[in-house]
Amino acid sequence: MKAFPILAASLLVLAACGTSDPVEKRVETLLSRMSTEEKVAQVSAQLLYMDEFYENRDYGKGHIRNVGHFLPDEGLPNDPKSVAERINDDTRKSMEASRWGIPVLQHGEALHGAQWGNATCFPQSIAMAATFDDGLYYRVGQVVARELRAVGVRQVYAPVINITRDQRWGRGQESYGEDVLMNSRMGVAYVKALEEGGVVATPKHFVDNYGEGGHDSFASTTSWRELREVYLEPFRACVEEGGARGIMSAYNSVDGIPASCNGRLLNDILKKEWGFKGIVVSDYDAVDIVRRNHMMATTEDEALALCMNNGLDLQLHVTSDGLLDLVKSGKISEKVLDESVRRVLRIKFELGLFDQPFVDPEQASAIVRSPEHRELAYEAACKSMTLLKNNGILPLKNVRRIGLYGPAANTLNIGDYSGARGGWKGDGVTPFEGLKQAFAGKADVQLNPSAPRSCDVLLFFPSITEEEGSDRSSFGLPSSHMSMERSEGGLIVADKQSIDVEIDQEKMLKDLIATGKPVVVVLHNGAVIDISAWVDNVAAVLEAWYPGEQGGRALADVLSGRVNPGGRLPFSWVRNIGQNPYYYSIKPGGRGYGYVENDGSPLYPFGYGLSYTSFEYSNLAVPEKLAAGESLKVKVTVTNTGSMTGDEVVQLYIHDELASVARPLKQLAAFKRVSLAPGECREVELEIPYREFGLWDKDLHFGVEEGWFEVWLGRNADEKITGGRVYVH
């Protein structure tokens, strides 16, 4: 490792704030010695693109979007060693610019992998939710934290824990679906892994980030009851259970007040009620949006004062340097400024940045995308694969010629927020390449063969347009011009070239069906597609999501039968767009739940997924009573009754039989994924924390009311297998 000279300023602060002193004492000692100007610098941030980075970098600012995120802009090396060296240099200069040698907090993104370059690219968040395996997700988070810390990135704006109940929202792929428990458990797993790995997790977007019509960042008209019961709960869990030290406020307004200046959200609930001690950051440019979109201030400085006086600690992507004047004029008090600076310094001391501000570039190269990390990406991709239909064609056996069609057949389908700016450009395997490898010596795999009737099976890989800023008003497969590569992370990263598509996908699929050959549709998406026009006429449908860098390999192994799919839907698959918003955990209605055209049920319910084997449940044991404060432990025996090793997702649902307020007809309370060999049986125990039996009463006070609860196991939200009742005290 290159030996950087120890800065005189750093020695001063280390002497003043002894390394053996408690963090709080070190924070207060340093804070008492800082000037107002120095304090302002610590709650200021920068985002600079590569062409202006070194020219306009203000090294006095306490937060910076790490340079590794932008290196591909100019074709500069973004390998782990180069990124680590650049970040080390930026950190050194920031310390030199500070009288006290205060290090900068290097931040970035990490939605499904460290997003500073070609770090390991894991399956998209919605795919990880489909695994129904928060233990696996915790291991993924550990790797992401390791690859972030290896280059010096110590805060990330992830995970997205906005519950998706309207499939028109373009960012559904970044979420964990429609369910409160799923978002909470997956969010906590990822946050805990990041935080334990020395990286500040920043769950977003606080709160209720899309509005009516599925529009991103539209005003929230959600009641405070529903906010409490649904949309706030994953954030509470990530703070109180996961230990998140960051929160990102949303662009939208909540109850008429923009989230970035909403004192009820930021001060009353987050900081006071939940005891949050970390930093609240705005979404990029959100402070000025309070002025120019919400029109609640005449200048950006007025908007900044409104935000900081109501709980915001740090404005991201500063376009104004008016904070100092706001403090000097008294529009933001020294007390408010000190509290925000105190939170920032606490994190920097807790992270050890004062004591070990630099990383070892050589070690970074050994850590990032190691064989073990790539193998975990493969495991995650395998476990996310969700089989929606199968007439027996899968797994593919005794086939000699396989034809691949569709725009996503030979691309890396990895979703948005992938890799550095410009997209992930690693050596991942496309579906076509993965199938060629899997069937080498067994079958001829061809891309777009001119004679589909000469094939034994036809695989169709459609694609849709969805991402941040791309909400949908149609669920059909697009038939107009689509660009298959995006400049910021990329919906689909093409293999060595950008691809423009001008095809009618629905027509192409119908033409393939008309050949009479069995057609298998492999979906790459993060939200519902309307498949009603053709699903009855295809042999199988496999939901592959955006499966990450190892997705092509995992997909091929699932199709060939080396791997048995065990993923489950983390959202309800509606029949058509008119059912939106839709979710399974509805409250009782005064009439029926259907429409003129159908009964209102989804095509595939939440938790649905098929397997190449079968499972049976027996010996359910539900305690008759549950004492106050205890967790309910339910036991059941699961047996693999088929001929292939496979994974079953045991899902436990509950219903409050009598309550003081209306409660959901059913809600997921626990889940566990188990792998069983043919004929193997295992006793599975699921635990429901006492809090899951609680409710927000008519005065919005949380508690558990004494009474009976129905408890049952299901293969999905609509299929009860076996159940019982428990009296909760």
pLDDT in tens, 170-205: 999 999 999 999 999 999 999 999 999 999 999 999
User: Average pLDDT in the 2-15 region?
Assistant: 50
> Tens digit of pLDDT for each residue in 415-451?
999 988 878 988 999 999 999 999 999 999 999 999 9
Q: Of 529, 555, 579, which closes a domain?
A: 579
In a domain, 695, yes or no: yes
Instruction: Say yes or no: 491 and 569 in one domain.
Output: yes
Residue 11: pLDDT over 80: no
- Burial class of residue 630, CB neighbours in 10 A (0-12, 13-18, 19+): middle
Residue 485: pLDDT over 50: no
The DSSP code sequence of 86-116 is HHHHHHHHHHHTSTT-PPPEEEE--SSS-TT
| CATH code for the domain in which residue 398 is found | 3.40.50.1700
Instruction: Say yes or no: 570 and 500 in one domain.
Output: yes
What's the total number of domains in the chain? Answer: 2
User: Average pLDDT in the 468-482 region?
Assistant: 82
> Tens digit of pLDDT for each residue in 516-551?
999 999 999 999 999 999 999 999 999 999 999 999
Give the H or E element holding residue 129. Answer: helix 125-130
In 3D, which of 412, 438, 416 has the Cα closest to residue 427?
412
In a domain, 344, yes or no: no
- Using CA atoms, how far apart are residues 307 and 329, in angstroms rounded to an integer? 16
Per-residue pLDDT band for 489 (boundaries 50, 70, 90) equals: very low
Residue 493: pLDDT over 60: no
In a domain, 478, yes or no: yes
Q: How far is CA 323 from CA 54, 315, 317, 336, in A?
A: 23, 10, 13, 12
- Using CA atoms, how far apart are residues 552 and 407, in angstroms rounded to an integer? 14
pLDDT for 2? 43
Instruction: Provide the angle, in degrees to the nearest 10, between the axes of the packed helices 180-196 and 233-240.
Output: 30
- Using CA atoms, how far apart are residues 6 and 11, in angstroms rounded to an integer? 7
> And the tokens for 39?
């304090």
Q: What is the mean pLDDT of the chain?
A: 93
In a domain, 717, yes or no: yes
Instruction: Say yes or no: 640 and 531 in one domain.
Output: no
> Tens digit of pLDDT for each residue in 50-93?
999 999 999 999 999 999 999 988 889 999 999 999 999 999 99
Instruction: Say yes or no: 379 and 476 in one domain.
Output: yes
In a domain, 161, yes or no: no
> Tens digit of pLDDT for each residue in 640-658?
999 999 999 999 999 999 9
Per-residue pLDDT band for 479 (boundaries 50, 70, 90) equals: confident
In a domain, 290, yes or no: no
Instruction: Say yes or no: 398 and 537 in one domain.
Output: yes
Residue 498: pLDDT over 60: no
Residue 500: pLDDT over 60: no
Instruction: Say yes or no: 540 and 645 in one domain.
Output: no
Torsion angles phi and psi, residue 471, rounded to 5:
-75, 155
Per-residue pLDDT band for 705 (boundaries 50, 70, 90) equals: very high
Among 131-140, 495-504, 592-601, 690-699, name the one with the lowest average pLDDT: 495-504
Residue 5: pLDDT over 60: no
Pairing outcome for strands 457-460 and 401-405: parallel
In a domain, 496, yes or no: yes
- Using CA atoms, how far apart are residues 654 and 642, in angstroms rounded to an integer? 29
pLDDT for 488? 36
Q: For the chain, what percent of residues have pLDDT higher than 70? A: 94
Instruction: Say yes or no: 660 and 571 in one domain.
Output: no
pLDDT for 494? 37
More confident residue, 346 or 496: 346
pLDDT for 14? 53
User: Average pLDDT in the 498-520 region?
Assistant: 86
Per-residue pLDDT band for 20 (boundaries 50, 70, 90) equals: confident
Instruction: Say yes or no: 498 and 646 in one domain.
Output: no
Quote the domain boundaries for residue 409. Answer: 374-579
More confident residue, 4 or 476: 476
- Exposed e or buried b for every residue in 422-458, given b needs 16+ CB within 10 A? bbbbbebbbbbbbbbebbeeebbbbeebeebeebbbb
pLDDT for 73? 83
Instruction: Say yes or no: 637 and 713 in one domain.
Output: yes
Predicted model pTM: 0.95
Helix boundaries (H) for 197-240: 224-226, 233-240
Instruction: Say yes or no: 392 and 523 in one domain.
Output: yes
Instruction: Say yes or no: 400 and 530 in one domain.
Output: yes
Instruction: Say yes or no: 413 and 528 in one domain.
Output: yes
In 3D, which of 101, 81, 116 has the Cα closest to residue 1?
81
In a domain, 299, yes or no: no
Per-residue pLDDT band for 17 (boundaries 50, 70, 90) equals: low
| CATH code for the domain in which residue 678 is found | 2.60.40.10
Residue 482: pLDDT over 50: no
pLDDT for 426? 87
Residue 582: pLDDT over 80: yes
pLDDT for 503? 83
